[in-house]
């Protein structure tokens, strides 16, 4: 025993040293592990953050674009109150988690947000897990980078959420953040829920506001506030959209996403703005005339980017005729790129006559009803296109 004990201690010490060395090497070079043993940095089963999120009428984005243009309601209703759960990279955890996600959803706040986001409605409707890679404020160029860095090429479907209110504009701003090597700079840090809006909207001391506008629909009166720029981003001819640098970069981003998606069916989910859906029903005798008197029209700057001209009175009939122009050009680009086009515009247009507005009165985003409409419409499309025909 006296002779064996030192040898046994040496063996145990050597084994422990080997374990420590192995752990250090794996920490420094995790790719040395077989793929089945690697820890996924986006492991959806181990959320990194769990935070309560409360959203009220006074937090609506129409109050701050620009401030002082929207009369606040007397009651500051609580619209959403729920727990947000994030993975280690900061992406929102879906309700239906899994080791593998057959469907990946890219997008901005329309994809990320909502008490029950449309991606969770989609997962429930199809009984298929959907990974939510939405991030507020992003555009299509950023989403191409997200897909490359955080997506995977063995999904069945990759869905690109496209919000017509600002996605073409975001392409320009994202392009300006591009590095010399062509890579998009992304900031995906999310330490807290940003409370960057005042608890009380800016009030006009003269009590003169541009919004909300009254809308008369099926015997009901609704007051809805808008972000005017989202309306004017629809006020361009098809040729202006088609010839823009924004559309050129948009096409390139679609190609990048398609390449990163492997054999997956890639579809763009077209999300109309509240202005597109409801402005045609606004009261012509109300403040709509002042909105039109201070209108903007889209053109091209010297570099070919979409830009606004000077403040100019706009004709209501011309504006209404142009509401679908951006959608038509985006659909054309998507189909030419070999992608599917899931158009939510008809769904939301039909919803105008079948219930409460699908958008919040003082915010540009969908209400719970809007997310359910979107999620079920996308689920129906996927169910009808299982073989993903081009």
Ramachandran bin of 262, using left for φ above 0, alpha for ψ from -120 to 50, beta for the remaining angles: left
Across 154-159, average pLDDT: 96
User: Which CATH architecture group holds 43-188+198-384?
Assistant: 3-Layer(aba) Sandwich (3.40)
Ramachandran bin of 215, using left for φ above 0, alpha for ψ from -120 to 50, beta for the remaining angles: beta
Length of the chain: 390
* DSSP annotation string for 84-105: EEE-TTSPBPPSS--SS-SEEE
pLDDT band at 273 (very low <50, low <70, confident <90, very high): very high
Other C-beta atoms closer than 10 Å to the C-beta of 357 total: 22
Across 338-364, average pLDDT: 97
Across 155-159, average pLDDT: 97
Query: In the chain, pLDDT over 90 holds for what percent of residues?
Result: 75
Domain boundaries defined on the chain = 13-42, 43-188+198-384
> Is residue 326 over pLDDT 70?
yes
Mean pLDDT across the chain = 88
Other C-beta atoms closer than 10 Å to the C-beta of 199 total: 9
In the structure encoding, which two tokens stand for residue 189, read together? 């840090």
Query: For residue 144, what pLDDT is reported?
Result: 96
pLDDT band at 178 (very low <50, low <70, confident <90, very high): confident
Please report which residue ranges of 261-367 form alpha helices under DSSP H: 274-278, 288-293, 316-322, 325-336, 345-351
| HEC readout, 306-332 | EEECCCECCCHHHHHHHCCHHHHHHHH
pLDDT band at 4 (very low <50, low <70, confident <90, very high): low
pLDDT band at 30 (very low <50, low <70, confident <90, very high): very low
Q: What is the pTM of this model?
A: 0.86
Ramachandran bin of 363, using left for φ above 0, alpha for ψ from -120 to 50, beta for the remaining angles: beta
Query: For residue 45, what pLDDT is reported?
Result: 39
- Return the biggest CA–CA distance within the chain: 103
* Model confidence pLDDT, tens digit, residues 206-264: 889 999 999 999 999 999 999 999 999 999 999 999 999 999 999 999 999 999 999 99
In the structure encoding, which two tokens stand for residue 77, read together? 């209703």
Do 106 and 99 meet the contact criterion of CB atoms below 8 Å apart? no
Across 356-371, average pLDDT: 97
pLDDT band at 125 (very low <50, low <70, confident <90, very high): very high
């Amino acid at each position: 025993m006296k002779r064996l004990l030192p040898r046994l201690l040496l063996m145990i010490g050597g084994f422990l040293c080997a374990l420590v060395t192995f752990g250090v090497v794996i920490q420094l070079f995790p790719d040395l592990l077989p793929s089945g043993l690697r820890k996924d940095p986006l492991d959806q089963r181990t959320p990194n953050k769990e935070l309560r999120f409360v959203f009220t009428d006074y937090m609506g984005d129409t109050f701050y674009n620009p401030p002082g243009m929207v009369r606040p309601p007397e009651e500051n209703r609580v619209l959403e109150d729920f727990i947000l759960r994030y993975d280690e990279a900061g992406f929102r955890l879906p309700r239906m988690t899994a080791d593998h996600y057959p469907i990946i959803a890219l997008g901005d706040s329309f994809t990320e947000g909502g008490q029950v986001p449309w991606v969770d409605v989609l997962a429930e409707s199809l009984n298929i897990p959907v990974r939510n890679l939405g991030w507020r404020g992003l555009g299509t160029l950023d989403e191409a980078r997200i897909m490359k860095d955080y997506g995977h090429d063995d999904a069945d479907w990759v869905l690109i959420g496209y919000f017509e209110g600002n996605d073409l504009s975001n392409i320009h701003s994202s392009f300006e953040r591009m590095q010399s090597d062509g890579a998009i700079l992304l900031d995906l840090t999310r330490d807290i829920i940003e409370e960057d809006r005042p608890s009380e909207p800016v009030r006009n001391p003269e009590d003169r506001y541009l919004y909300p506008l009254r809308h008369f629909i099926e015997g009901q009166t609704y007051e809805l506030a808008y972000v005017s720029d989202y309306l004017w981003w629809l006020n361009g001819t098809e040729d202006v959209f088609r010839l823009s640098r924004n559309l050129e970069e948009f096409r390139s981003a679609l190609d990048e996403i398609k390449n990163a998606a492997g054999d997956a069916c890639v579809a763009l989910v077209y999300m109309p703005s509240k202005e597109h859906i409801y402005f045609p029903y606004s009261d012509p005798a109300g403040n709509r005339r002042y909105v039109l008197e201070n209108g903007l029209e889209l053109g091209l700057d010297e570099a070919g980017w979409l830009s606004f001209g000077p403040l100019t009175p706009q004709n209501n009939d011309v504006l209404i005729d142009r509401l679908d122009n951006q959608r038509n050009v985006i659909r054309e680009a998507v189909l030419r790129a070999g992608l599917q086009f899931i158009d939510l515009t008809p769904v939301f247009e039909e919803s105008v006559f079948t219930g409460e507005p699908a958008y919040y009165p003082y915010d540009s985003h969908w209400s719970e009803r809007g997310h359910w409409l979107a999620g079920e419409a996308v689920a129906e499309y996927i169910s009808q296109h299982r073989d993903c025909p081009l």
